[in-house]
């Protein structure tokens, strides 16, 4: 089925911040750890927080100990004071956009203004803002409420951050028409504005809309309401299990959006379920082609193929004779190393990509046997190359096994090495470099060009690993995995990737100027352009695990290998002439 995803959906900045604070508190803060009320309006995320030991607290006790996190919607100032007096260490998880509305309400109420809040009187955010407005606060949720307004001279109009933009505009204009001279602040969050704009755009190109989010989420229900007002059939669901596949199947193109409290893995599961749904409007070639590509990536065969491709390119670009055994060894080792890590790390994979987790669990024995056989074949091929190669491959197999398996010094389900922030992507890159570049240097005589080719391989492997970690950011965060994006955040991660991209270009240039890379190697800059394109796509479309983005990341070693092989091919043609 053709599925179109909204460009803005899922966790907003405020929700993401609150969840990250809760996850960090679950590992570092004084125990026990609570949230004052539900942290966000999503049952799936709250259940995971409870698994981490973060539980909601409904009432403030007279005496308490431990840590409490104020929900993203905020609370009245008196509640915050009572929590501190009870003995809690308070972590304020209030969304900064909500804090701004609270500050405006407090400022104008102290100056004698009536504070009109356009929003739902029963919503936690509105109750919190009312606490800052005090006796001057008035909630307006519909046009009928305007009849009950007192005579207004000095007043300010604020909005619940998740309010419908068009409704706020209409009702504030009506208030100004009845009581001229008031001040109006549109305090609707940018994330809300973007999501509402996106759902209207989806309605223009899609036959039906699926809205994913919590049943108690105001902004999620508002997205569904907007889609219905646009004349579309709407399916409001919390999880993929709630989809009415029989009804949805009749539509040619379905749009998917999600509320600001909806985790990426829930959205991705809905999208994947819809994409797998047979549709009379989709050609069998396209459907089976997508399934085949998914199988290649889920089984790590795409990774193995990319490794073999890049290994062949390195050998030929360095001027070594092509040895199929080296290319095969690279593919077998990297397939096994990555697969064993996936088999052990199914906990986070169930969140990031539940379909892949199900695929691996269903075929666990097959992949376990394939991993063992691949490691044994790697050793066999290394032994036939030379003893030094055998020793290095043995060391690499031991290292990858100690990293992945529940052996020495593991705490919970992570080894000490996995607790080092960003270690995973660095170890992956080091493994690729060792097998693709260091090993040929042992088998053949070292050449200066291999230094620059090694830099290229290391950076390609590192960027591929980090890009895939970006797709798994939320799930990794929930299980406490210290990947680079979890540790420094997406924005700084993109900065690191851009530095690596520049380093990739410098490595090609260094190989051309000082490393002895043939002049035709300038063609490798095609890979430099491709990486730039990939980074741009990730920055524009990053929303959890996405098939298209994953495909782009897996293409890094293949495109790099292709560009180097193309350069070798050009050199061969020129030499013959």
**Matching residue, tokens 């741009």:** 536
Dihedral (CA of 124, 125, 131, 133) sign: negative
**Matching residue, tokens 């409870």:** 50
Dihedral (CA of 5, 7, 13, 16) sign: positive
In 280-386, where does DSSP find H-type helix? 284-298, 301-317, 324-344, 346-352, 354-362, 364-385
Cα 333 to Cα 312: distance, rounded to the nearest angstrom: 15
Residue 298 falls in the annotated catalytic set: no
pLDDT tens column, 321-360: 888 999 999 999 999 999 988 888 777 777 777 778 888 8
Q: Residue 124: which region, alpha, beta or left (left: phi > 0; alpha: psi -120 to 50)?
A: alpha
Segment 370-378 long-range contacts (CB within 8 Å, at least 24 positions apart):
370/335, 370/336, 370/339, 371/335, 371/336, 371/339, 371/340, 371/343, 372/336, 374/332, 374/333, 374/335, 374/336, 374/339, 375/332, 375/333, 375/336, 377/328, 377/329, 377/332, 378/329, 378/332, 378/333, 378/336
Catalytic residue among 125, 238, 472, 550: 125
Give the angle 118-6-225 at the CA atoms, nearest 5°.
40
b/e map of 194-213 (b: 16 or more CB within 10 Å)?
A: bbbebbeebbeebbbbbbbb
The DSSP output letter for 10 is S
Cα 546 to Cα 550: distance, rounded to the nearest angstrom: 6
The DSSP output letter for 520 is G
What pLDDT is stored for residue 577 in this prediction? 42
What pLDDT is stored for residue 481 in this prediction? 66
Domains in the chain, CATH or no CATH each: 12-94 (3.40.50.11270), 98-188 (3.40.1010.20), 192-290 (3.40.1010.20), 297-572 (1.10.600)
CB atoms within 10 A of CB 184: 18
φ, ψ for residue 137, nearest 5 deg:
-85, 140
Nearest Cα residue to 378 out of 410, 422, 332: 332
The DSSP result for 314-345, as a single string, is HHHHTTPPP-HHHHHHHHHHHHHHHHHHHHHT
Dihedral (CA of 431, 435, 437, 438) sign: positive
Mapping DSSP to helix (H, G, I), strand (E, B) and coil, where does residue 160 land? coil
What pLDDT is stored for residue 419 in this prediction? 60
Nearest Cα residue to 457 out of 424, 428, 432, 426: 432
What pLDDT is stored for residue 341 in this prediction? 83
b/e map of 290-314 (b: 16 or more CB within 10 Å)?
A: eeeebebbbbbebbbbbbbbbbbbb
Burial class (CB within 10 angstroms; exposed 0-12, middle 13-18, buried 19+) of 558: buried
Structure tokens that stand for 135 in this block: 């006796």
Nearest Cα residue to 234 out of 279, 190, 220, 271: 220
Q: What are residue 193's DSSP bridge partners?
A: none
Cβ atoms of 490 and 470 closer than 8 Å: yes
Cα 300 to Cα 341: distance, rounded to the nearest angstrom: 11
What pLDDT is stored for residue 549 in this prediction? 86
What pLDDT is stored for residue 543 in this prediction? 59
Q: Is the pTM of this model over 0.75?
A: yes
pLDDT in tens, the chain (577 residues): 788 888 777 778 888 888 888 888 887 888 899 998 888 877 878 887 887 788 888 888 889 899 999 988 899 999 999 999 999 999 999 999 999 999 999 999 999 999 999 999 888 899 999 999 998 999 999 999 998 888 888 999 999 988 888 889 999 999 999 999 899 999 988 877 888 888 888 999 899 999 998 877 878 888 899 999 999 999 999 888 888 888 888 888 899 998 888 887 788 888 888 888 877 777 778 778 888 988 998 899 999 999 998 999 999 988 888 889 999 999 999 999 999 888 887 777 777 777 788 888 899 999 999 999 999 999 999 999 989 999 999 999 988 887 766 554 444 445 555 566 677 889 899 999 999 999 999 888 888 889 999 999 999 999 999 999 888 876 666 666 678 887 787 889 999 999 999 999 999 999 888 877 777 778 889 999 999 999 998 887 665 557 788 899 999 999 999 998 887 776 554 444 4
Distance, CA of 204 to chain centre? 27
Cα 429 to Cα 434: distance, rounded to the nearest angstrom: 9
Cα 304 to Cα 77: distance, rounded to the nearest angstrom: 57
φ, ψ for residue 66, nearest 5 deg:
105, -155
């Amino acid at each position: 089925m053709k599925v179109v995803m909204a460009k803005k959906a899922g966790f907003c900045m405020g929700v993401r911040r609150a969840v990250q604070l809760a996850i960090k508190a679950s590992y570092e803060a004084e125990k026990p750890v609570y949230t004052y009320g539900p942290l966000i309006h999503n049952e799936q995320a709250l259940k995971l927080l409870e698994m981490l030991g973060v539980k909601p607290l409904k009432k403030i006790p007279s005496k308490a100990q431990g840590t409490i996190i104020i929900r993203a919607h905020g609370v009245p100032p008196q509640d915050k004071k009572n929590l501190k007096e009870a003995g809690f260490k308070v972590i304020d998880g209030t969304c900064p956009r909500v804090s701004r509305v609270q500050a405006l309400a407090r400022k104008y109420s102290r100056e004698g203004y009536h504070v009109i809040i356009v929003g739902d009187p029963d919503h936690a955010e509105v109750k919190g803002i009312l606490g800052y407005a005090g006796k001057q606060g008035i909630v307006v949720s519909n046009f009928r409420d305007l009849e009950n307004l007192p005579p207004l001279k000095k007043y300010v109009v604020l909005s619940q951050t998740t309010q419908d933009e068009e409704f706020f505009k209409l009702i504030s204009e009506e208030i100004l028409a009845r009581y001229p001279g008031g001040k109006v602040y549109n305090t609707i969050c940018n994330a809300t504005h973007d999501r509402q704009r996106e759902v209207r755009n989806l309605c223009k190109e899609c036959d039906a809309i699926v809205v994913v989010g919590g049943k108690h989420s105001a902004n999620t229900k508002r997205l569904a309401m907007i889609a219905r007002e646009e004349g579309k059939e709407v399916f409001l669901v919390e999880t993929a299990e709630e989809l009415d596949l029989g009804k949805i199947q009749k539509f040619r193109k379905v749009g998917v959006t999600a509320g600001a409290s909806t985790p990426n893995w829930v959205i991705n599961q809905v999208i994947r379920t819809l994409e797998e749904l047979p549709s009379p409007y989709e050609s069998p070639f396209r459907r089976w082609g997508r399934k085949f590509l998914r199988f290649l990536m889920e089984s790590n065969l795409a990774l193995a193929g990319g490794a073999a491709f890049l290994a062949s390119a390195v050998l030929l670009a360095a001027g070594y004779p092509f040895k199929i055994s080296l290319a095969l060894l690279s593919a077998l080792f990297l397939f096994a190393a990555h697969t064993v890590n996936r088999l052990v790390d199914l906990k986070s994979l169930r969140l990031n990509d539940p379909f892949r987790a199900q695929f691996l669990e269903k075929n666990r024995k097959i992949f376990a046997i394939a991993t063992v056989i691949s490691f044994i074949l790697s050793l066999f091929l290394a032994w036939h190359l030379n003893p030094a190669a055998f020793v290095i491959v043995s060391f690499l197999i031991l290292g990858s096994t100690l990293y992945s398996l529940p052996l020495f010094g593991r705490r919970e389900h992570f080894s000490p090495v996995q607790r080092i922030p960003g270690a995973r992507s660095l170890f992956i890159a080091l493994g690729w470099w060792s097998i693709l570049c260091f090993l040929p240097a042992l088998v053949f005589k070292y050449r200066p060009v291999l230094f620059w080719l090694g830099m290229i391989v290391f950076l390609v492997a590192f960027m591929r690993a980090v890009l895939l970690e970006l797709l798994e950011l939320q799930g990794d965060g929930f299980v406490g995995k210290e990947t680079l994006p979890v540790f420094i955040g997406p924005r700084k991660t993109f900065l690191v990737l851009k530095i690596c991209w520049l380093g990739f270009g410098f490595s090609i240039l260094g190989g051309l100027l000082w490393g002895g890379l043939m002049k035709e190697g300038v063609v490798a800059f095609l890979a430099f352009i491709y990486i730039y394109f990939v980074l741009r796509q990730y920055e524009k479309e990053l929303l959890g695990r996405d098939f298209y983005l994953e495909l782009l990341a897996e293409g890094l070693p293949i495109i790099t290998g292709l560009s180097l092989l193309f350069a070798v091919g050009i050199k061969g043609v020129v030499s013959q002439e």
